[in-house]
Amino acid sequence: MNNKERKDQKETKEKIEKEEIIENKDENLEESTSIKNDEPQNEADSAEEESEESEESEEERLQEEVRALKEDKIRVLAEMENLRKRFDREKIDSIKYGSVNFARDILSPGDNLERALSAINQEEGHPQSIKNLIEGLKMVQKEFSSALEKNGISKINSMNEKFDPNLHQAMMEVERDDLDEGIVVQEIQTGYMMHDRLLRPAMVGVSKKPQQNKTSDSQNENETKNKDQK
């Protein structure tokens, strides 16, 4: 191989190498461009995902606030309803029982009027003036009872009833062989109710068994127990 051929071969080789270098540069440039183009896309996708997560988080927070506000509203409405009901009850009670102290005060004159009438001997002959006075007192007593009834005040029926500590106040015990123990046999002072509340308890005497009968009853019970044991 002469020098000319060698020289041509060398130039051809160098040309091929230059072309490969240029092609490699172009490929690298394309890859770099592709990477650069992909990077903004990836960043955009990541930003979009973060934005979506942020929106979801904000939506959940708002929903939680709405639930909390609804619960507060329901609680406030319930409290207002309870206050309204309590106010209505207090209003009704003030109307029904507002005059309870005044009612207690006027019972004493009624008691005195009743005692005065009970002290008069109806069978005894009286002058006409005294009879007129008695009739006048009876009319006053009747009007007094009507006024009490109009205001929801009623007498407690105690005689021959079982003693009730919620209605009666025991002032004495009366021995009665013909009655069970704890029966009201005497009314010292009349008791009154105001609607469904106790205005004044009735002062009463309550029956009890005589001591002798109690002893005999106890002995009979002991004898019965001894017989049963035998």
pLDDT tens profile 44-103: 566 666 666 777 788 888 888 889 998 998 999 999 999 999 988 888 888 878 888 888
Band of pLDDT at residue 139, cut at 50, 70 and 90: very high
Structure pTM?
A: 0.57
Residues in contact with 16: Cβ distance below 8 Å, sequence separation at least 6, in sequence order: none
Rounded to the nearest 10 degrees, what angle do helices 128-150 and 100-119 cross at? 150
Secondary structure of 145-209 in the HEC alphabet?
HHHHHHCCEEECCCCCCECCCCCEEEEEEEECCCCCCCEEEEEEECCEEECCEEEECEEEEEEEC
The domain in which residue 129 lies consists of 98-151
Name the residue with higher pLDDT: 119 or 83. Answer: 83
Indicate if 55 and 103 belong to the same structural domain.
no
| pLDDT tens digits, 151-199 | 889 999 999 999 999 999 999 999 888 888 999 999 999 999 998 899 9
Verify that 137 and 164 share a domain, yes or no: no
CA-wise closest residue to 100 among 155, 157, 151, 147: 151
Arithmetic mean of pLDDT over the chain:
79
Domain final residue pick, 53, 72, 97: 97
Residues 12 and 90 both lie in one domain = yes
> Does residue 89 sit in the same domain as residue 37?
yes
The whole-angstrom separation of Cα 78 and Cα 84 is: 10
**Domain count along the chain:** 3
pLDDT of residue 218: 57
At 217 the pLDDT is 55
Closest CA to 145 of 109, 120, 116, 119: 109
Q: Are residues 82 and 10 in the same domain?
A: yes
Domain co-membership, 127 together with 164: no
Identify the domain boundary among 97, 114, 130: 97
pLDDT at 191: 93
State residue 95's pLDDT score: 80
Claim to verify: residue 29 and residue 118 sit in the same structural domain: no
Q: In terms of domains, do 1 and 90 share one?
A: yes
Distance of CA 95 to the CA centre of its chain: 22
In a shared domain, residues 144 and 168: no
Regarding whether 103 and 93 lie in a shared domain, the answer is no
Q: Does residue 25 have a pLDDT over 80?
A: no
